[in-house]
Structure 1
Amino acid sequence: MSFSENLKAIRKERNISQEDLAEIMGVSRQAVSKWEQGSGYPEMEKLLVLSRKLNVSLDYLMLGESSTNEINNEVTNNIVVPNGKITIKSADGKSIFNCYKVSASHVMFKAKEDEPKYCLNGVNSGAFWGENSIILGWYKDEESAKKEMNEIAEAMNKGVSVYELKYAVKVKTKRLRIKIDNE
């Protein structure tokens, strides 16, 4: 299913009107209508808010799946922790998240030169309305995201219970866009 179909189905499943969703998102009802018709997409920041507010993973929202092996013909990594959970500490040290599943995915829209191209998502539980996921870190390229995933897998195999992100870039929000912070 496409993003537009998924959004409409999730919204209807939760008995939320387009007007209500627009109010939650801080956009017009027409913007929500365009998203559901497939004639427009929200910016990355709005996708993250949608994911959080609707309590579904970005994979589920964008693809109708809780995990995916392929996005735009690019293979993504998906690790399910076999022994329960691993605690991931964000690169900025401001947040800690217990995960039973970690996946790296390409950002939905063509990233500009100063924007991250991949993100690492952590899932900590399945809930009634879907999985509870959070973006753990942003990556400038696929190689950095894969390197992080490999080190997380290695840490899990060694029985390490806490892992601190090493390859994520620092980001800042500028005009509702996620930008790499080079400062």
Structure 2
Amino acid sequence: MGFAENLKSIRKERHISQEEVAEIMGVSRQAVSKWEQGSVYPEMEKLLLLAKELNLSLDYLMLGEKSSNENNKTISNNIIVPTGKITIKSYDGKAIVNCYKVLASPVMYKAKNDEPKYWLIGVNNGAFWGEKSILLGWYADEEKIKKEIDEIAEAINNGVQAYELKYAVKVKNKMLRVKIDEE
């Protein structure tokens, strides 16, 4: 696919109107429409801004190609699975998230023996202005969360559309702390 098809597809996928794109880019809605029709292209500065605002590489925006460093990213203590989409139900069953990435991170407090040590965060595109994240699951140890991440990554790479958490522990809230529920 070329730029016109990519822009239209990405915009619709993220539920962004042409008006919203135009507002961000400082152009008219008609200009965005012409970009999507392929009759004109934006200036280079606009292309760079558009790629940045959509959180995409310029290669992907223009050619539909993911650069090799986008396919597998690792950032400090967080693990990010390959770019893609998958639907995951949260540990408590109260949310279903269409994730384009998941993050694994140690909890922000010193966990006691009866508390989970890691949490898995699902990130979706929520809005044009940024990402929305939601807690997907709690994990007793690093081995379990890494195993979950590996299986989610494999599911995304295989084109699986939905994934159910397998290694998350059941938890209960107790005195402002999250405890592993042994019941």
1:91–1:166 CA contact under 8 A, matched in 2: no
How many residues are aligned here? 111
Q: How does 1:161-180 map to 2 (within 5 A)?
A: 161-180=161-180
Segments of structure 2 that go 5 or more residues without pairing to the other structure are 1-72
Q: How does 1:24-173 map to 2 (within 5 A)?
A: 69-71=75-77, 76-82=78-84, 85-125=85-125, 127=127, 130-173=130-173
Pairwise CA RMSD of aligned residues? 2.0
1:70: how far off? 1.5
Change (3 A) 1:68 1:157: closer
1:91: how far off? 4.2
Change (3 A) 1:92 1:109: closer
Specify the SS of the correspondent of 1:169: coil
Q: 1:50 — aligned with what?
A: none
Change (3 A) 1:128 1:162: closer
Deviates more, 1:92-101 or 1:105-114: 92-101
Q: Report Cα offsets for 1:102-140 as digits up to 9, x if no partner.
A: 110011111000110000000111546642100100000
Q: 1:12 — aligned with what?
A: none
Higher RCO (CA 8 Å, separation ≥ 6 residues): 1
Give the Cα separation in 1 of the matches to 2:82 and 2:147. 17
Q: Report Cα offsets for 1:157-183 as digits up to 9, x if no partner.
A: 111000000000001111111111111
Give the Cα separation in 2 of the matches to 1:171 and 1:130. 29
2:82–2:156 CA contact under 8 A, matched in 1: no
Give the Cα separation in 1 of the matches to 2:127 and 2:142. 30
Segments of structure 1 that go 5 or more residues without pairing to the other structure are 1-66
1:68: how far off? 6.9
Q: Which amino acid aligns with 1:70?
A: S
Change (3 A) 1:95 1:103: same
Q: Which amino acid aligns with 2:161?
A: S
Q: TM-score, normalised by structure 1?
A: 0.56
Q: Which amino acid aligns with 1:167?
A: Y
2:152–2:163 CA contact under 8 A, matched in 1: yes
Give the Cα separation in 2 of the matches to 1:133 and 1:119. 12
Q: TM-score, normalised by structure 2?
A: 0.56
Percent identity, aligned pairs only, is 68
Larger radius of gyration: 2
